[in-house]
Amino acid sequence: MLENIDSSLIDWSRAQFALTAIYHWLFVPLTLGLAVVMGIMETLYYRTGCEFWKRTARFWMKLFGINFAIGVATGLILEFEFGTNWSNYSWFVGDIFGAPLAIEGIVAFFMEATFIAVMFFGWNKVGRGFHLASTWLTGLGATISAWWILVANAWMQSPVGMVFNPDTARNEMADFLAVATSPMAVNKFCHTVLSGWVLGAIFVVGVSCWYLWRRREREFALSSIKVAAWTGLCAALLSAWTGDGSGYQVAQKQPMKLAAMEGYYDGTEGAGLVAFGILNPAKQAPDDGRDAFLFRIEIPKMLSLLAERRADAFVPGINDLLEGGYTLEDGTQALSAKEKMERGRTAIAAFADYRVAKADGRESDAQAAAATLQANMDYFGYGYIKDASELVPNVPLTFYMFRVMVILGGYFILFFAVVLFLAYRKPLAEMRWMHWVAMLTIPLGYLAGQAGWAVAECGRQPWTIQDMLPTFASVSRLEVGSVQTTFFIFLVLFTILLVAEVGIMLKAIRKGPEPQTNI
């Protein structure tokens, strides 16, 4: 039974998956970003025939290749963990979740593998046009790979396009197009890929400023900065726009996550968005009567605009979502958490009754149980929840990580705008303080990406699949010690890979682009 699962097994399984995902996301966004920057640079070479742009593109391709290789290793381990650590989840929804991952592996990965060979080794073996196409197709392959991974993740946030088969005890895909093109998937893909472009641009600007700081490769550095800063500014602005779309989807599909992102407990009409705030650490429960904030500055009505596109709209808080009773957009009354839990238990009991009736050959009883199951299936996951407080995610973590992401996103827009102004109007090559700002911005790019994923994944707890399957019901029955052992093995392995990648990259950066005579 689920109640016999060791809570430490759940914690260690989550920790191992989080560890792998964090390390993996150190490599993926840089791959996506460098692919665009080097593609633009080679396009300039193709159009102008200038060997300078060929030399510049080849340098950034070298760093792309180093990063790409390590990213593949961590990504493969991440996918295997679904089967090893989360086998109940894989069984329950493998027919749906496995399809995007299979397409990613068969189509996108092989596409990358094919064209990356031409990109690196085909400079003097294929025509300029074919080589340019290979460079862009390598980047497109990486982007398509991200698309299918993010489709799978978005489905976990907002499950669509499936039906539950009580005979197999599995959810089965009913509408592939609905899964692949859901609004949650489209917004998540655009926002995530654009954030990768931002990081790639930050990385190129920062590395190029290191050359300026060392008084090396001035023309190479300034040209790289201009290409990357324009790319980064466009991507950062678009990322802010897609972030708004993602916020709207969260409000519609995951209102508890939105409430946690805002430290928002009691709903109101014309709700304000917290621009800056400090949560009250003394607040331990939604209904303990303590104020949620020690200090906050709100933008009036902005949360209502974000969530419902109306300045006077009602936005439910954590307490409203737990207690229910407010009016939904369709005019019905929202169920309380306890009512959802009761309906979930009804669904689970009906499923058990269906299996018994089927086994005994009582077809009419089986059909009656199936009808009851179908009527309550939307709340199936709530049947595993023992206390309504379990439905509230970690509010401080979600609240602060959301603000880290948003504040850094605003900073990146300002950063790229300033870099472009200085590159075109001021002697950027001589502004050593700006070189340091650019270099120190590189780790902030990584921090913003990790903060965004913390909001996305921690904010939807306790669910592995929103409203359908809680985390503790998804885990494999393993010995805690084996998960702990592999956790530390992966920690050591990933750290060695990261140190090796950074070391190889630094060596390549110190060496610099190839001399013109070697082209």
The pLDDT tens digits of the residues spanning 451-496 come to 999 999 999 999 999 999 999 888 888 889 999 999 999 999 999 9
Contact 88, 6 (CB under 8 A): no
The pLDDT assigned to 1 comes to 43
The pLDDT assigned to 242 comes to 94
Mapping DSSP onto H, E and C, the string for 123-191 reads CCCCCHHHHHHHHHHHHHHHHHHHHHHHHHHHHHHCCCCEEEECCCCEEEECCHHHHHCCHHHHHHHHH
Q: How confident is the model at residue 2 (pLDDT cuts 50, 70, 90)?
A: low
Report which DSSP code applies to 327: B
Res 344 pLDDT > 90: yes
Report which DSSP code applies to 105: I
- Quote the distance between the C-alpha of residue 145 and its chain's center: 13
The pLDDT assigned to 76 comes to 77
CA distance 267 to 398: 18
Q: How confident is the model at residue 113 (pLDDT cuts 50, 70, 90)?
A: confident
The answer to whether the bond into 462 is cis (omega within 30° of 0) is yes
The Cα-based distances of 320 to 122, 286, 337 in angstroms read 61, 10, 10
Res 303 pLDDT > 70: yes
Q: How confident is the model at residue 3 (pLDDT cuts 50, 70, 90)?
A: low
Percent with pLDDT over 70 in the chain: 98
The pLDDT assigned to 6 comes to 74
The pLDDT assigned to 212 comes to 95
The pLDDT assigned to 88 comes to 87
Structure tokens at 265: 């407990």
The pLDDT assigned to 122 comes to 86
What are the boundaries of each domain within the chain? Answer: 13-259+394-518
The Cα-based distances of 284 to 261, 292, 395, 455 in angstroms read 16, 9, 10, 20
Q: Which residue has the higher pLDDT, 72 or 55?
A: 55
Region 9-38: what's the mean pLDDT?
92
Torsions phi, psi for 162 (to 5 deg): -140, 165
Of 103-112, 191-200, 484-493, which gets the smallest average pLDDT? 103-112
Contact 111, 98 (CB under 8 A): no
**What is the CB neighbour count within 10 angstroms for residue 303?**
26
Res 517 pLDDT > 70: no
Q: Which residues contact 347 (CB under 8 A, 6 or more apart)?
A: 372, 373, 376, 377, 379, 380, 383
Region 61-68: what's the mean pLDDT?
91
459 burial class (0-12, 13-18, 19+ CB within 10 angstroms)?
A: buried
**pLDDT tens for residues 134-181?**
999 999 988 988 888 899 899 999 999 999 999 888 888 889 999 989
Q: How confident is the model at residue 214 (pLDDT cuts 50, 70, 90)?
A: very high
Contact 400, 281 (CB under 8 A): no
DSSP 3-state assignment of 281? coil
The pLDDT assigned to 4 comes to 64
Residue 479 Ramachandran class (φ > 0 left, ψ -120 to 50 alpha, else beta): beta
| CA neighbor of 315 nearest in space, from 242, 265, 279 | 265
CA distance 256 to 388: 12
Paired sense of beta strands 293-299 and 314-315, if any: unpaired
Res 184 pLDDT > 60: yes
Q: How confident is the model at residue 82 (pLDDT cuts 50, 70, 90)?
A: confident
Highest mean pLDDT among 71-80, 120-129, 347-356: 347-356
User: Rounded mean pLDDT of the chain?
Assistant: 91
CA distance 225 to 195: 18
Res 518 pLDDT > 50: no
Region 72-80: what's the mean pLDDT?
79
Q: Which residue has the higher pLDDT, 448 or 327?
A: 448
Res 429 pLDDT > 90: no
